[in-house]
Amino acid sequence: MTGSAGFERLLRAEWTKFRTVRGWVIGMGVAAVVMLAMSLLGVSGSSAGGGRGPVPVGPDGKPVNDAFTFVSRPLAQDGSITVRVTSLTGVILANGPDESPSHAEEPWAKAGVIIKASAAQGSPYAAIMVTPGHGVRMQDNFVNDNAGSSGAVSPVSPRWLRLSRSGEMITGSESVDGTSWTDVSAVRLANLPDTVLVGMFVTSPDHEVTTQGFGELDTIGGPTVATATFDHVEVEGQSGTGSWDHVVVNGGERGLPPGIEPVAEANGTFTVSGAGNIAPIVAGPGSETVEQGLIGAFAALIVVIVLGTMFITSEYRRGLIRTTLVASPRRGRVLAAKAIVLGTVTFVVGLASSAAAFALVGKIRSGRGIRVYPASSLTEVRIVVGTAALLAVAAVLAMAVGAVMRRGAGAVAAAVVLVVLPYILAVASVLPAGPARWLLRLTPAAAFSIQQSTTEYFQVTSTYTPSTGYFPLAPWAGFAVLCAWTAAALGAALVLLRRRDA
Amino acid sequence: MRCALHAEWTKMRTMAGNGWLVTAIVALTIGLSAAVSAAVDCTSAGCDADPTKTALTGVVLGQAIVAILGALVISGEYGTGMIGVTLAAMPRRTTVMAAKAVVLSGVVLAAGIAAVLGSLLAGRLILPGNGFTAGHGHPAPSLADGATVRAVIGTIVYLVLIALLSLGIATVVRDATVAIGTVLGVLFLFPVLAQVVEDPDLYRHLQQISPLIAGLAVQNTMHLADAPIGPLAGLGVVAVWAGAALLAGGVLLRRRDA
At residue A141, the 3 state secondary structure works out as coil
Residue to substitute from A287, A290, A412, interface B, most B β-carbons within 10 A: A412
Is the pLDDT at B45 greater than 50? The verdict is no
Total length of chain A:
502
Q: If you average pLDDT over every residue of chain A, what do you get? A: 87
pLDDT of A305 above 90? yes
Residue B41 to residue A45, Cβ atoms within 8 A: no
3-state SS string for A216-275: CEEEEEECEEEEEEEEEEEEEEECCCCCCEEEEECCCCCCCCCCCCCEEEECCEEEEEEC
- Collapsing DSSP to helix, strand or coil, A131 comes out as strand
Give the one of B49, B65, B68 whose C-beta lies nearest to A430's C-beta: B49
Contact A159, A84 (CB under 8 A): yes
The pLDDT of residue A392 is above 70? yes
Least Cα distance to A270 among A304, A228, A239 occurs for: A228
Beta-ladder partners of A186: A171
Residue A237 in this model has a pLDDT that exceeds 70: yes
Residues 158 through 187 of chain A touching chain B, CB cutoff 8 Å:
none
Give the Cβ contact number of residue A286 at 10 Å. 11
Q: For residue B199, name the pLDDT band (cuts at 50, 70, 90).
A: confident
Q: How many CB atoms lie within 10 A of CB A179?
A: 7
Q: A26 at the B interface (CB within 8 A)?
A: no
pLDDT of residue B46: 53
Q: What share of chain A is helix, strand, coil (3-state, %, to 5)?
A: 40, 25, 30
Mutation choice for B interface testing from A21, A416, A439, A448 by most B CBs within 10 A: A416
Are A421 and B49 a contacting pair at CB < 8 A? Answer: no
Provide, as residue numbers in chain B, all residues whose Cβ is less than 8 Å from the Cβ of A211: 45-46, 48
What gap in Å lies between CA A31 and CA A25, rounded to an integer?
A: 10
Is B116 or A223 the better-scoring residue by pLDDT?
B116
Q: Return the DSSP state at A206.
A: P
What's the mean pLDDT in A192-212?
A: 84
Choose the closest CB to B181 out of A218, A305, A424.
Answer: A305
A220 touches chain B (CB under 8 A): no
The Cα B93–Cα B83 span in angstroms is: 11
Distance CA A272, CA A251 (A): 19
Encode pLDDT of B151-188 as tens digits: 999 999 999 999 999 999 999 998 889 999 999 999 99
Taking contacts as CB-CB distances below 8 angstroms, the residues of chain B near A45 are 197-199, 201-203
CB of A38 less than 8 A from some CB of B: yes
Window from A23-37, B68-82, B151-165 with minimum mean pLDDT: B68-82
CA atoms within 13 A on the CB side of B48: 17
A313: contact with B, CB 8 A cutoff: yes
Residues of chain A with Cβ-Cβ distance to B192 below 8 Å are: 295, 298, 420, 423-424, 427-428
At position A477, the amino acid (one-letter code) is: A
Q: What is the pLDDT of residues A115-163, one digit of tens each?
A: 999 988 999 999 999 999 899 999 999 999 999 999 888 889 999 999 9
Which 392-411 residues of chain A touch chain B by CB within 8 A? 407-411
Question: Nearest by CB to B177, which of A42, A408, A434?
Answer: A408
The verdict on a CB contact (< 8 Å) between A420 and B175 is no
B-chain residues near A299 (CB < 8 A): 185, 189
- CB contact burial A249-273 (16+ within 10 A = b; e otherwise): bbbeeeebeeeeebbeeeeeebbbb
> Do residues A312 and A40 touch, judged by C-beta distance below 8 A?
no
What whole-number distance in Å separates Cα of residue A391 and Cα of residue A394? 5
CB contact under 8 A, B177 and A435: no
Structural domains of chain A in order of their starting residue, each with its CATH number: 3-48+286-499 (no CATH), 64-280 (2.60.120)
C-alpha–C-alpha distance, residues A235 and A398, integer Å = 66
A136: part of which helix (H) or strand (E)?
strand A135-140
Answering whether pTM is above 0.95, one says: no
DSSP per position, B42-103: SSSSS----HHHHHTTTHHHHHHHHHHHHHHHHHHHHHHTHHHHHHHH---HHHHHHHHHHH
C-alpha to C-alpha distances, B206 to A259, A297, A351, nearest whole angstrom: 49, 18, 28
CA distance A474 to A480: 10
> Which residues does chain A have within 8 Å of residue B43's beta carbon, measured at their own beta carbons?
none
Could you give the C-alpha distances from A183 to A128, A159, A164, in angstroms and in order? Answer: 11, 13, 11
Contact of A41 with chain B, judged by CB distance below 8 Å, is answered with yes
Q: What pLDDT digit, counting tens, does each position of A453-489 carry? A: 888 888 888 778 777 778 899 999 999 999 999 999 9
The predicted model gives A492-499 an average pLDDT of 91
CA distance A432 to B43: 12
Task: Work out the average pLDDT over A61-87.
Answer: 90
A-chain CB neighbours of B36 within 8 Å are: 425, 430-431, 435
The least confident of A356-370, A433-447, A455-469, B199-213 is A455-469
> A212, A424, A452: best mutation site toward chain B, by most B Cβ within 10 Å?
A424
pLDDT at position A84 is 94
How many A-B residue pairs are in contact by the CB < 8 A criterion?
A: 141
Q: Pick from A383, A384, A394: which is nearest to A346 by CA?
A: A394
Instruction: Residue B37: name the closest of B47, B51, B24, B26 by CA.
Output: B51
d(CA B113, nearest CA chain A) in Å: 22
pLDDT value at residue B17: 82
Search chain A and give the residue with CA nearest B18. A410
Q: How far apart are CA B169 and CA A2, in angstroms?
A: 46
pLDDT top residue among B134 and B195: B195
Choice among A9-18, A263-272, B126-135, B188-197 with the minimum mean pLDDT: B126-135
Give Cβ neighbours of residue A43 (< 8 Å, ≥ 6 apart).
A292, A293, A361, A364, A365, A370
A6: closest CA of chain B, how far (Å): 32
- Residue B82: how many other CB atoms lie within 10 Å: 15
Interface test with A, best of B15, B192, B224 (most A CBs within 10 A): B192
Higher pLDDT, A310 or A325: A310
For range B210-214, the mean pLDDT: 93
